[in-house]
């Protein structure tokens, strides 16, 4: 009893002392803010931090080449007509808002898998593929990451060097050992094939290998088909496990089948694999969080067991996924008219990016740059690894109000026919 | 698949996943699956927690349909990424909803909101933050509680302890057991409290009992974590349902509240949630938010837009907000009516036992007191599906099926021994 009274009075005293103050030392006075004393300020997100700095700049010629969201030639977000039309159809159907199952909207899952693997392979009929709706690419990777940690706890994850900034935190958070395989050759601004093959050959059996199916983020450098064949062979021989990340199918080349080729090749070669898909970019559904996680298993029985375990992982994370974006995708996929419209719009986005790359390269030449800028058009997708050093990146920001991440990555989506020359001018100024 | 591929597949040898076992299905979904497979015309699913009309149909709130129409026609809207912490208009409105506009926490800038994937996402995000970033490792859950609470806290690595809650003898709250268990809780233990409409029992503390609970939490320096999945949905009145949360704030307690808009807005599958964060020092918010952003970035990066926008549009518009309040009153009233009706039927039948708990309990669920065997009997003979715990979803009761359900309960209690 007396201990209780003592605790009570010291706690009450501490509370009054603590309000407004942040630092408390005695354990009995751990109240009011004391719980949060150990909470440090997290570092700003390197990618999102660029946009924040950009917003504060008042230079009318400023350019934001940070965030990877598509922009039209006027620099505006682009809502696909196929999406708007799909939403109107959905509205007219007056569907309910009942919980989806843990694995999400079945027709969406089927569409996502068909998109990735094609309808020719017979894979989907084999019963050994499970696709679960996920919270875009991030959510898909997180689910996969947790599955691997549970069932292959000693396997290290191999990411390409460099990789998307959020890959490492996702895997590390779950407790994985994260390693890398050589990928980007900064001398050629291209693919370090020899380095990649050597590192894959040296990876221990059972390692999980992260592969960007197309439009590698952040470099824009993709392996050739010959490179992919060689990687497939090594991965098979060394008994490594491929985990594909496909966030840009259709968005890279403008052609869904071309962009998914590596995945389909691996299937043909008999690999089991995991796949993360995002519909953020290719359908412009960023904020609706539409994605899928797929496991290609070795048998229908294994598939059932894996599926049941994925559900166990998902339930305490978010229970079941959001329906809106998934319904939009399903609606587009099942309507020939909307599907055709989507393909055109997606190709439009991919083409604009390819055009901007070409213009940037020629503008740099016109500015008088002597550097080799071939990689600007050799690379593919939303991002381009310019080869600019961190110091040059800082100058781009400070002298020219051009914002990009310090690894030299630019989002081509932020380039327009209006700002293209200005950008070339700035890039030349900092590199000459 | 081509022969070639089959042959290539065979060469890979045995699978590395051969040790993966079949996981048990989540109970409540397994129940629904069994119900769906049943062809009996009088079947009733008293399992999953979603509102139903008297016709037994799901109900999309008219104000939600209206706002969705408006949104589809509004070309200034797009599908861009939300900030990691979510749509600001939403988090602000959601936090205000649970704390009240005049909350000292809001006026003193001590409260912020963080958008999450419904209630589950809020619980998971908060659990990770508390364990991994703020040094909390013990959590107290009511006995019983929503099944997913245990899963979430277990996965995050908490030492899970129970505090007494349901008293089978009275089919009410074991307040003395509750107080005693919390008195014995170690300092800094996280205490999960259901703000209203306790799931699965439907038993809520009275205001006087809440005051006692707040006292013991304060005295023991425990950390309050409210789960608020039913604000407005329980009594039909927002102010009534948020009373406990507001009371704790008025006592100077720091707390988290996991809010779900699944039931009170009928937005189940849009996954709309908010984690309301009340601290005593505004200076702490920046750090807490930054750490939560990092955790969220590794789970979903940023939350889904659609449902949050619907809720924000309604809550910030007086006309739409008033409409919404009518809808929640409608839902709560129907549930109350069904409770009354079922109770009356049981009394009329002379069903053995006391049944006033059916009307004393509140919200979507009722812990009937039926045993697993009795529940099994109801399924076999009457095709009525309920949880083994005896939990039933009152929303699934209608004027058409209440008779059938009452009969089933009567026969189960009369003929089947509990154990």
- Region B75-87: mean pLDDT is 95
User: Do residues A213 and A245 touch, judged by C-beta distance below 8 A?
Assistant: yes
β-strand B272-278 against B255-260: which pairing, if any?
antiparallel
Mean pLDDT, chain A, integer: 91
Of A40, A45, A288, the CB nearest to B305: A288
pLDDT of residue A68: 82
- Measured at the CA of A302, the angle between CA A298 and CA A306, to 5 degrees, comes to 115
Q: Is the pLDDT at A26 greater than 80, yes or no?
A: no
User: Do residues A221 and A252 touch, judged by C-beta distance below 8 A?
Assistant: no
Kindly report the length of chain A.
432
Q: Encode B148-185: b = buried (16+ Cβ within 10 Å), e = exposed.
A: bbbbbbebbebeebebbbbbeeebbbbbeebbebbeeb
Q: Is the pLDDT at B91 greater than 70, yes or no?
A: yes
Q: Choose, out of A142, A289, A310, the residue to mutate when testing the contact with B (most B CBs < 10 Å).
A: A289
Contacts A317 to B, Cβ<8 Å:
117, 120-121, 124, 299
pLDDT of residue A44: 72
Q: Is the pLDDT at B372 greater than 80, yes or no?
A: yes
Q: Choose, out of A35, A239, A290, the residue to mutate when testing the contact with B (most B CBs < 10 Å).
A: A35
Distance from A367 to chain B by nearest Cα, in Å?
34
Q: In B233-371, where does DSSP find H-type helix?
A: 238-241, 243-250, 285-297, 306-315, 318-349, 357-360
- Region A168-189: mean pLDDT is 96
Q: In B11-77, where does DSSP find H-type helix?
A: 27-37, 62-73
A39·B134 Cβ contact <8 A: yes
Q: Is the pLDDT at B16 greater than 90, yes or no?
A: no
Residue of B nearest to A264 (CA): B5
Q: Is the pLDDT at A24 greater than 70, yes or no?
A: no
Supply the DSSP symbol for B76.
Answer: T
Residue labelled with tokens 């995945």: A263
Residues 6+ apart with CB under 8 A from B169: none
Give the distance, in angstroms, between the CA of residue A132 and the centroid of all CA atoms in the same chain. 17
User: Do residues A326 and A133 touch, judged by C-beta distance below 8 A?
Assistant: yes
User: What does the alpha-carbon distance between residue A319 and residue B290 come to, in Å, rounded to a whole number?
Assistant: 24
List strand residue ranges (DSSP E) for A140-260, in order: 157-161, 178-182, 184-185, 190-191, 208-212, 241-246
Give bridge partners of residue B140 from the DSSP assignment.
B161, B191
User: Do residues A247 and A275 touch, judged by C-beta distance below 8 A?
Assistant: no
3-class SS at A341? helix
- Cα distances (angstroms) measured from residue A418 to each of A62, A68, A131, A422: 12, 19, 42, 8
Mean pLDDT, chain B, integer: 94
Contacts A170 to B, Cβ<8 Å:
298
Residue of B nearest to A79 (CA): B78
Distance from A263 to chain B by nearest Cα, in Å?
14
Of B18, B20, B294, the CB nearest to A42: B294
The candidate with the shortest Cα–Cα distance to B390, out of B400, B399, B377, is: B377
User: What does the alpha-carbon distance between residue B359 and residue B344 come to, in Å, rounded to a whole number?
Assistant: 10
pLDDT of residue A11: 43
Residue of A nearest to B1 (CA): A122
Report how far apart the first and last C-alpha atoms of chain A are (Å, whole number): 78
User: What does the alpha-carbon distance between residue A143 and residue B299 come to, in Å, rounded to a whole number?
Assistant: 9
Give the distance, in angstroms, between the CA of residue B353 and the centroid of all CA atoms in the same chain. 29
A322·B269 Cβ contact <8 A: yes
- Region A401-413: mean pLDDT is 94
pLDDT digits (tens, 9 = 90+) for B239-267: 999 999 999 999 999 999 999 999 999 99
Contacts B221 to A, Cβ<8 Å:
7, 11, 28, 30-31
Edge-to-edge strands, sheet with A157-161: A129-135, A290-296, A273-278, A241-246, A208-212, A157-161, A178-182
pLDDT band at A41 (very low <50, low <70, confident <90, very high): confident
The model's pTM is: 0.92
A306·B17 Cβ contact <8 A: yes
pLDDT band at A34 (very low <50, low <70, confident <90, very high): low
A93 noted as active-site residue? no
pLDDT above 90 coverage of chain B, percent: 90
Structure tokens at A126: 């084999």
User: Do residues A165 and A159 touch, judged by C-beta distance below 8 A?
Assistant: no
pLDDT band at B14 (very low <50, low <70, confident <90, very high): low
Of A11, A36, A121, the CB nearest to B288: A36
Contacts B304 to A, Cβ<8 Å:
135, 287-289, 322, 324-325
B12·A236 Cβ contact <8 A: yes
């Amino acid at each position: 009893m007396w201990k209780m009274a003592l605790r009570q009075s010291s706690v009450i005293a501490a509370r009054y002392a603590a309000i407004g103050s942040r630092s408390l030392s005695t354990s009995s006075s751990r109240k009011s803010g004391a719980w949060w004393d150990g909470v440090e300020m997290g570092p700003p997100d390197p990618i999102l931090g660029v946009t924040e700095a950009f917003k504060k700049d008042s230079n009318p010629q400023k350019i934001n080449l940070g965030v990877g969201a598509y922009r039209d030639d006027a620099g505006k977000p682009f809502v696909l007509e196929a999406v708007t039309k799909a939403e109107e159809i959905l509205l007219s159907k007056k569907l309910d808002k009942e919980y989806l199952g843990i694995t999400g909207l079945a027709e969406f899952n089927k569409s996502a898998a068909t998109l990735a693997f094609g309808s020719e392979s017979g894979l989907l009929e084999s019963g050994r593929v499970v696709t679960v709706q996920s919270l875009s690419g991030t959510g898909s990777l997180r689910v996969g990451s947790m599955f691997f940690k549970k069932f292959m706890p000693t396997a290290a994850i191999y990411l390409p060097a460099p990789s998307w900034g959020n890959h490492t935190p996702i895997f590390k958070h779950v407790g994985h050992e994260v390693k890398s395989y050589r990928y980007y050759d900064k001398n050629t601004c291209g693919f370090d094939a020899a380095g990649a093959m050597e590192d894959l050959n040296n990876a221990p059996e059972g390692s999980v290998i992260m592969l960007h199916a197309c439009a590698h983020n952040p470099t824009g450098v993709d392996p050739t088909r010959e490179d992919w064949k060689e990687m497939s062979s090594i991965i098979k021989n060394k008994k490594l496990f491929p985990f594909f990340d496909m966030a840009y199918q259709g968005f890279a080349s403008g052609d869904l089948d071309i962009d998914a080729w590596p995945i389909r090749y691996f299937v043909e070669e008999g690999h089991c694999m995991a796949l993360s898909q995002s519909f953020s970019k290719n359908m412009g559904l960023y904020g609706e969080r539409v994605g899928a996680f797929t496991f290609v298993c070795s048998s229908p029985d294994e598939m059932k067991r894996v599926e049941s375990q994925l559900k166990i992982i998902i339930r305490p994370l978010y229970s079941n996924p959001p329906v809106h974006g998934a319904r939009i995708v399903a609606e587009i996929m099942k309507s020939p008219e909307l599907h055709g419209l989507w393909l055109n719009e997606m190709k439009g986005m991919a083409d604009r990016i390819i055009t901007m790359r070409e213009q940037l390269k020629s503008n740099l030449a016109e500015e008088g740059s002597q550097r080799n800028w071939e990689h600007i058009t050799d690379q593919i997708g939303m991002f381009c690894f310019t080869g600019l050093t961190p110091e040059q990146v800082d100058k781009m920001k400070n002298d020219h109000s051009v914002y990009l991440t310090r690894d030299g990555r630019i989002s081509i989506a932020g380039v327009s026919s209006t700002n293209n020359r200005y950008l070339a001018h700035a890039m030349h100024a900092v590199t000459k | 698949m081509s022969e070639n591929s089959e042959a290539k597949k065979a060469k890979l040898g045995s699978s590395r996943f051969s040790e993966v076992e079949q996981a048990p299905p989540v109970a409540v979904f397994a129940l629904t699956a069994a119900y769906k497979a049943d062809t009996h015309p009088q079947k009733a699913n008293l399992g999953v927690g979603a509102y139903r009309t008297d016709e037994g149909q799901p109900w999309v709130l008219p104000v939600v349909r209206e706002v969705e129409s408006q949104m589809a026609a509004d070309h200034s809207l797009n599908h861009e990424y939300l900030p990691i912490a979510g749509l600001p208009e939403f988090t602000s409105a959601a936090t205000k909803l649970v704390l009240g506009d005049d909350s000292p926490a809001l006026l003193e800038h001590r409260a912020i909101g963080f958008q999450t994937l419904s209630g589950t996402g809020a619980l998971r995000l908060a659990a990770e933050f508390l364990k991994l970033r703020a040094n909390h490792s013990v959590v107290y859950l009511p006995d019983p509680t929503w099944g997913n609470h245990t899963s979430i806290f277990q996965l995050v690595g908490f030492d899970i302890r129970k505090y007494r809650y349901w008293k089978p003898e009275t089919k009410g709250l074991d307040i003395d057991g509750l107080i005693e268990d919390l008195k014995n809780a170690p300092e800094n233990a996280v205490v999960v409290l259901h703000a209203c409409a306790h799931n699965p029992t439907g038993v809520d503390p009275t205001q006087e009992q809440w005051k006692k609970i707040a006292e013991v939490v304060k005295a023991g320096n425990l950390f309050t974590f409210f789960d608020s999945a039913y604000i407005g949905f329980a009594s039909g009145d927002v102010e009534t349902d948020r009373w406990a949360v507001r009371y704790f704030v008025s006592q100077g307690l720091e707390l988290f509240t996991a809010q779900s808009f699944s039931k009170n807005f009928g937005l189940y599958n849009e996954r709309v949630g908010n984690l309301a964060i009340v601290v005593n020092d505004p200076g702490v918010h920046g750090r807490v938010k930054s750490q939560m952003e990092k955790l969220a970035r590794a789970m979903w990066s940023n939350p889904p837009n659609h449902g949050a926008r619907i809720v924000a549009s309604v809550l910030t518009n007086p006309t739409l907000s008033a409409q919404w309040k009518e809808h929640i009153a409608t839902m709560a009233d129907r549930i109350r009516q069904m409770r009354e009706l079922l109770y009356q039927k049981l009394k009329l039948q002379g069903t053995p036992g006391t049944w006033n708990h059916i009307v004393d309990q509140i919200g979507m669920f009722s812990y009937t007191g039926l045993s697993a065997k009795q529940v099994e009997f109801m399924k076999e003979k009457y095709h009525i599906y309920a949880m083994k715990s005896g939990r039933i979803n009152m929303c699934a009761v209608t004027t058409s099926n209440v008779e059938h359900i009452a009969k089933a309960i009567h026969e189960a209690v009369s003929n089947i021994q509990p154990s």
